[in-house]
Structure 1
Amino acid sequence: MTHTVDVVVIGGGQAGLAAGYHLRRQGVDFVILDAQSTPGGAWQHTWDSLHLFSPVAFSSLPGWLMPTQSGEEYPDAGHVVEYLSQYEQRYQLPVQRPVRVRAVSRDSGRLRVKTDSGTWSAQAVVSATGTWWRPFLPAVPGQEVSGRQLHTVNYRRPTDFTGHRVVVVGGGNSGAQVAADLTTHPGIDLTWATQRPPRFLADDIDGRALFDAATARRRALDAGTSDTGGVASLGDIVALAPVREARDAGLLKASPMFSRLTADGVEWADGWRADADAVIWCIGFRPVLSHLAPLGLRASRGHIPTVGTRAVDEPRLHLLGYGDWTGPASATLIGAGRPARDASREISMLLANGTP
């Protein structure tokens, strides 16, 4: 059986919910298909101590300010999951789950969305699957003989590594936060390896400044003026309290990136070795776009060329929440709203006039 609808939104995390909010305001008939069995998107799978970079006023989806969390200036991941769940209910968004989308293809002037529980026919599709489900692991010599390797997505709490020697790889926020988290638990021998010396942002900078920097960069690029450098010009690591405390206590000492993995740990080019029971890779993600492969839109670095959020070679497809290439800070809670609004307006025009 094929279900017919104006718009299919793929993904029920923050970007998908922001799209649903604005599509509802446009009066569009839509459905949100979410592969997860419960609300909350990737936030329900993060490590236990994770907190937002920003207070609630700068961490909210369109329409409803995130409630404050008692005793916390920067809410934790559990609070975000609760907020996203309530957001769905508040706006009665038509989320169906768990539904895993297998492929999106062209079909007689419409887009065909094939899932593990049926097929949908839509005039437009919003892909908002994010990046969490595609962790990046580099090709490093020695992987075939190395022991336990994990990614950020597999890390939950320091007590899982009691008595272990752990190497954390990555000089960004996740690497610094996981490394700092491990320093809070006695009995863990930590090595933190980074490609370049860690660049901590000033202690008073949080997600508010980062969003402003990302937005200013996008405006400069759109206007054809000099690149401001965006967030990268400020540093790589937000100095949240746990990171700042570990840094100031001298517990976050970064080593240069090692050259190979061994059966017992890691080894640097000069022959120095560090034993390790586990290596945790905190080096980022790639966009989850395999469901769009039948459309033949992929280009350099695995991205799909877009104008704003709209795919250049398929105007019925919009992409939300994958990073700056689909909107300034679009992979953040506060940054998801504006691209979702723009996409919903273009989709409404497409439905009304046949062109975006």
Structure 2
Amino acid sequence: MTEHYDTVVVGGGQAGLATGYYLRQHDRDFVVLDAGGRVGDPWRNRWDSLRVFTPARYTGLPGMGFPTSPYYFPTKDEVADYLEAYADRFDLPVELGVRVRALERTDDGYRITADDRRIEARNVVVAMASYQVPVVPDFAADLADDVVQLHSTDYRNPGQLRDGGVLVVGAGNSGAEIALEVAEHHETWLSGRDVGHVPFHVDSRFGRHLGVPFVLRVLYHRVLTTGTPVGRRVRPKVLGRGGPVVRTKPADLSSAGVERVARTTGVRDGLPIVGDDRTLDVANVVWCTGFRPDFSWIDLPIFDGQDAPAEPVHVRGVVPDAPGLYFVGLLFLYALTSSLFTGVGRDARYVVKQLTARDERGGGQTEASVTASREADSSGVKQG
């Protein structure tokens, strides 16, 4: 039998829960589908020592602050438990263990196939982050069989590694923090281009009271958006190589004995090559080389085919060519904070506002989405 809802939210992480909060505020008929066995599991399954890069005052979702000191940096398990408590507090209809296999158009909405279920809805909100499929270079397969290889999504702690040197590939936030941790037990190299870093310690007095509020609430949240010229210039760079390192400083890595090396470019005799011709004799490689989105289950002509992988073309999460379809949680969906707790609530509120306005008008695009689409076209910016 076919199930029917007004709105289906795909994904039960922070983006999906924030969307659910606003749908509940508007008294909508909706369901949140998530493939995990428990709310917050993507956080629980990260490396053991992970703490979020934003203090608790900026790690809450709409309607419920994070229940700890505002300057505390929560652990990944504390974030997971917070998300679970959030879903319970607002009685959000999250259905777990439901993996969506396909999304297609119908005459009056959309059809979702999830294992043996078929669900139809007027509106669908895809609330999934861009971090879906781990990326590892093809030449990783040429490393010697006795070299331990882990992607950051599988790394938990240094106990997984063999005795011997460690090459951490990727110098963003994950790479810097993992390199700092493994350097306590192994000779460690950190490979990759310098992506820059926040020029102050986030847990210092200056950072707590001035630096972090300015970066998160002003620079990342209001200045670096798709609505500003500087934001539109920065966005492709962020999508291509990520944002600056937040907590770890170059001096921290140097003090820990981590050696910075050039990009990893290939393999020779089973060992990684960095730069033009330097071979590193290591026993372990940790790939902090990021993720790519995977929307292959969406059978709709909404993707820009010029780039690989293709991403949905949207304006602030509203898909102009598919009325009733929305996205929340993507990297730089609207601002540099769009994939962070500080920005996902704003994006969810905007999308739900557009969704309800569309339904009140009887379907089709809202005036706001049409205007935004024209502005994007006139500026030459692809927002997707």
State whether residues 6 and 121 of structure 2, in contact with CA within 8 Å, keep that contact through their aligned partners in structure 1.
yes
Alpha-carbon distance in structure 1 between the residues aligned to 2:107 and 2:59: 41
* Cα distance, 1:198 vs structure 2: 5.6
Corresponding residue number in structure 2 for 1:61: 61
Assess if the C-alpha contact under 8 Å between 1:129 and 1:289 holds in 2: no
Deviation at 1:137, TM superposition (A): 2.0
TM-score (ref. length: structure 1): 0.89
Contact 1:136 1:286 in 2 (8 A): yes
2:322 is the counterpart of 1:323: no
Q: Any residues of structure 2 matched to 1:132-147 within 5 Å, and which?
A: 132-140=131-139, 143-147=141-145
Q: RMSD over aligned Cα, in angstroms?
A: 2.6
What are the superposed Cα offsets for residues 22-62 of structure 1, whole Å, 9 maximum, x if unpaired?
Answer: 01111110000000011105212110111111211111111
Check 1:316–1:226 CA distance in 2 against 1; reply closer, same or farther (3 A cut). closer
Contact residue 211 and residue 335 of structure 1 kept, 8 A: no
Unaligned runs of at least 5 residues, structure 2: 367-384
Aligned 1:235-314 pairs, distance under 5 A: 236-240=244-248, 246-247=252-253, 249-268=255-274, 270-292=276-298, 294-299=299-304, 300-301=306-307, 302-314=310-322
**Unaligned ranges ≥5, structure 1:** none
Trace 1:1-356 onto structure 2 (pairs within 5 A): 1-68=1-68, 73-140=72-139, 143-147=141-145, 148-184=148-184, 186=185, 188-194=186-192, 196-197=193-194, 199-205=196-202, 208=213, 209-219=215-225, 221-224=226-229, 229=234, 236-240=244-248, 246-247=252-253, 249-268=255-274, 270-292=276-298, 294-299=299-304, 300-301=306-307, 302-353=310-361, 354-355=363-364, 356=366
Asked whether the 8 Å contact 1:318–1:343 carries over to 2, the reply is yes
> Which amino acid in 2 is paired with 1:86?
A
Distance 2:152 2:171 in 1: 13
CA deviations 1:215-272 (Å, max 9, x no partner) are 23345x425578684896x9721134xx677425152321011321235321245533
Residue 317 of structure 1: CA displacement? 0.7
Distance change in 2, residues 1:217/1:289 (3 Å): farther
Counterparts of 2:79 and 2:21, CA distance in 1: 17
Secondary structure at 2:337's aligned position in 1? coil
Say if 2:188 and 2:259, in contact at 8 Å, map to a contact too: no
Report deviation, 1:210. 3.8
C-alpha deviations, 1:128-181, integer Å up to 9, x for none? Answer: 1223331122334x6345444321101111122151322101111011011011
- Partners of 1:66 and 1:47 in 2: CA distance: 21
How many residue pairs match? The answer is 346
- The 1-side partners of 2:12 and 2:316 are apart by 21
Q: Is the 1:260–1:267 Cα contact (8 Å) retained in structure 2?
A: yes
Supply the AA of the counterpart residue of 1:50: L
The alpha-carbon distance between structure 1 residues 226 and 181, as it changes in their structure 2 partners (threshold 3 A), is closer
TM-score, scaled relative to structure 2: 0.83
CA contact (8 A) 2:224 2:230 kept: no
How far apart, in 1, do the equivalents of 2:357 and 2:321 lie?
Answer: 18
Kindly indicate whether the alpha-carbon contact (under 8 Å) linking 2:143 and 2:272 is maintained by their aligned counterparts in 1: no
- Cα distance change, pair 321–41 in 1 and its aligned pair in 2 (3 A): farther
Give the match's secondary structure for 1:259.
Answer: strand
* CA distance, structure 1, for counterparts of residue 189 and residue 149 of structure 2: 14
Distance change >3 Å, CA 342–CA 73, structure 1 → 2: same
- 1: CA distance between counterparts of 2:269 and 2:38? 39
Mean CA deviation greater in 127-136 or 29-38: 127-136
Cα distance between partner residues in 1 of 2:352 and 2:116: 26
Shift of residue 11 of structure 1? 0.3
What is the SS of the residue equivalent to 1:109? coil
Q: For 1:322, give the aligned amino acid.
A: L
